[in-house]
Structure 1
Amino acid sequence: MTYEEIVYTIDNKRRFGKACGRDVTKELMKALDYPEKDLHIIHIAGTNGKGSVAAFVSSILQAASFASKDHFKVGLFTSPHLIEYTERIQIDGKQISREDVTRLGERLLSLELNLEPTMFDYWLAMAMLYFKEQNVKYVVLETGLGGAKDSTNGLSVKPEVCAITSIGLEHTQYLGNTLGEIAGEKAGIIKTGVPVVIGEMPDEAIEVIINKCKELGCQYTLAGEVSKDKKLGLFGNYQRKNAAVAIETVKSLGLAINNQNIDSGLAKAVWPGRMQIISEHPFIMVDGAHNPSGVQALYESLRTEFPKEKISFIMAVMADKDYLSMAKIMAPIAQRIYTVTVESDRALQAKELADAIGELGIDAKVCDSYQDALNQALSQDEKVVAFGSLYFIGEVLGMKG
């Protein structure tokens, strides 16, 4: 099979499986003779910020490895991808090759299993195989959906540390209807005796996570926010909270990592599509904020950075998202919102989105494409921020490339 055939076959597997993802991973790992058994896992969950925290942690570990006589490799597994599937699996910042995806993908697709893996399950299994082959020592592992039942929670090894970045209302049909219920699901990644780092979140959620830590005899740390004199590779005030989670997570590993390693890692961290400035003049930013809490973080960063300016937004979302709350949050700083339809069967149509936003009293304009929206905004000499679905941001960045 070719790379394209492998990707197409895996991509057309179920998005949500019939079986619990955790159980599918257990069967996959057994069938593959437990490739994860010698890996040192850093497990990260959360409603928002887990990707940024993963990027910071990976970058800090790479800086420490580079400065050490005993070099070690750092693996990173994240989702979703923005442009290329290979983004999901990286070692020391380098994506897995198409050739390796093809080779490992053929092996995985040939397995006879009782439980049906999803697309996510296959990529997770591929990552574990690849990390083992390449003698990776530390694996920064981002959960997919939730925690307790998530596919990443089915590995046979205990993580070295667990981090829970934030808790907000998301995927309530799968995770629960309250912050407490969702926190309980995310806290399912916590294992007996494993240190836990907790990011900033409502007291209701913190209480649930701390109780879980006490139940399992885990030391826990409440992360704060790094000072403004720290240079971060990622834009946005909220990234200072994510950076604090990352620092505490790395410290929990007990490695000989100094402040210089930490500062270097924070400054060099890269996380495409998250408050990413793709042009200074004119100002164009993209951000994969696709739920109210993510949009709130984007709003606060923009208001701090540009306190007296209005912004033109380009928005595209999936139909199952709380897009009205997202638009309401941006209303105070929105010059107008241009709406676009994402290339997905789950997309909310641009006209329906514009109509809904218009009923809130916000100026909304339907556009045929991102480029159409961008041209209109730039013709008005406006700062432009595109946000919403990560698939939309991937389209934008792919166009830019």
Structure 2
Amino acid sequence: MQYEEIIEIIQSKRRFGKAYGRDVTAEMMERLEHPETGMKIIHIAGTNGKGSTAAFVSSILHAAGFVVGRFTSPHLIRFTERIVVDGEEIGKDDVIRLGERVLALPMRQETTMFDLCLGMAVLYFKEKNCDFVVLETGLGGAKDSTAGLSVVPEVCAFTNIGYDHTAILGNTIEEIAAEKAGILKKGTHAVLGIMDEKAADVIKKQAEILDVPITNVDNLLTKISTYEIPLNGVFQRANATLAVGVVETLFNNHCGYLGDNFLSKKEEIIRQGLAEAKWPGRMEVLSEKPYVLADGAHNPQGVEALFNSLKNMFPDEKFVFLVGVMADKDYRAMMRTMYPLADTFLCATVDTSRSLQADELCQNLLEDGMSAVVSGDLLDGLQKAIALGEEKGERIIIFGSLYFIGEVKAIFEGGSIHLPEYE
């Protein structure tokens, strides 16, 4: 098969299967003769910040001299972004080879796109002899595909937990946290990020049931306050703190494995790893003149974090917002949160079947008393936002969906956007 054919087949798979992803993965690993055996896994669950935390952890471990595999989703522009070893995306030839292998498996249970991607990732990490593998859950925890691997993770890390996918995970913070806590297995170590106390209590209770030791990272926040964090946003320091907690837990539990080099240069390695971390599409500045910032905030909690970061970075400023959202998100709550900072909302339609149409989003915003305009296609929306920002002397902020941010980045990287000339 050609690369494009493989990608089309994989991406055409259902988003949610009939069976739990955990059970599908268990069957897949058995049919692949358990390539995950012996892997040292860092498993990350939460509502927001999983990808950033995975990027920080991977970068620190790479700075310590280890070969690190990272599996995250969704991708922004390229499918290959999902499977990375030491910062390098999987090659197209490897996607073809491994994609054909997982697609050919005589599975009893239906596979989703996520299941197939995870199977390819595990095979690839095995081939690359990764010292550590960082896995981001897809949805939830207990029933997630990443929970179906047979090995016990070295560390289970939990980012902030909020309301998202409530139809699947539950209607309360406690119910959602219980689902996330399902990644815990006897023999692992839990590291809790900065989160709602009610969510933390649920995870701690599950950890106690399984006799899993717990590390809280609150005391590390001050410790790393002087460290250089290349990712914008006040919330990224919390994600970086969780990452440091994960690495220090690995060090405390596996001193011999991490080696004397890490012991003697731990602080230097952590600083270097944090400073070199990359995670595109999260408060990423796409242009300085005009100022265009894109963020993958796609639920009320993520938008609140973006709101707080913008207030902190640019006090008393108003912004031109270009937004595109999924129909299954609480988009009205998201826009109400951002309204105090908004001059105008330009509404666009994301290029996916789950997207809310721009005219419907615009109508909802107008009904809520906000200033909103429907853009044409995304390129038209970008040009209008830039022109409006130039006219009003305001910055342009783009948010609403990771898929949307991926489309925006592709336009900027492809050079098809016209930027005004500035002296």
Give the TM-score taking structure 1 as reference length. Answer: 0.97
8 Å CA contact retained: 2:297, 2:306: yes
| Pairing 1:128-167 to 2, within 5 Å after superposition | 128-167=122-161
Cα shift readout 1:142-173 (whole Å, capped 9, x = no counterpart): 00000000000000100000001011111111
Q: Compute the displacement of 1:193 (Å).
A: 3.0
Match of 1:390 in 2: 402
Match of 1:98 in 2: 92
Match of 2:29 in 1: 29
Distance 1:78 1:295 in 2: 21
Match of 1:108 in 2: 102
Match of 1:288 in 2: 296
Distance 1:283 1:47 in 2: 28
8 Å CA contact retained: 1:374, 1:384: no
Match of 1:340 in 2: 348
Match of 1:244 in 2: 241
SS at match of 1:141: strand
Match of 2:313 in 1: 305
Cα shift readout 1:310-359 (whole Å, capped 9, x = no counterpart): 11110000111100010011011111110000111111010110111112
Distance 1:49 1:150 in 2: 17
Match of 2:43 in 1: 43
**Runs (5+) with no aligned partner, structure 2:** 252-257, 414-423
1:319 to 305, 327, 330: 327
Distance 1:45 1:24 in 2: 19
Cα shift readout 1:68-93 (whole Å, capped 9, x = no counterpart): xxxx3100000000111100000000
Cα shift readout 1:244-291 (whole Å, capped 9, x = no counterpart): 100001111123350111111111111111111111111101111000
1:220 to 214, 219, 222: 214
* 1:362 is aligned to 2:370: yes
Amino acid at match of 1:178: T
Q: Compute the displacement of 1:377 (Å).
A: 2.6
Q: Compute the displacement of 1:10 (Å).
A: 1.0
Distance 2:288 2:267 in 1: 31
Q: Compute the displacement of 1:371 (Å).
A: 2.5
Distance 2:80 2:288 in 1: 28
Distance 2:91 2:387 in 1: 40
Give the TM-score taking structure 2 as reference length. Answer: 0.92
Distance 2:216 2:380 in 1: 45
Distance 1:246 1:12 in 2: 34
SS at match of 1:197: strand
Distance 1:186 1:128 in 2: 21
How many matched pairs?
395
% identity of equivalent residues: 54
2:194 to 183, 194, 200: 200
Cα shift readout 1:47-85 (whole Å, capped 9, x = no counterpart): 0001110010001111111xxxxxx31000000001111
**Runs (5+) with no aligned partner, structure 1:** 66-71
Cα shift readout 1:94-149 (whole Å, capped 9, x = no counterpart): 00000000011111111101111111000000000011111111001000000000
Q: Compute the displacement of 1:15 (Å).
A: 0.9
Amino acid at match of 2:237: R
8 Å CA contact retained: 1:314, 1:370: no
Amino acid at match of 1:246: A
Amino acid at match of 1:239: Q
CA RMSD of aligned residues (A): 1.0
SS at match of 2:250: coil
Distance 2:164 2:384 in 1: 33
SS at match of 1:252: helix
Distance 2:51 2:113 in 1: 19
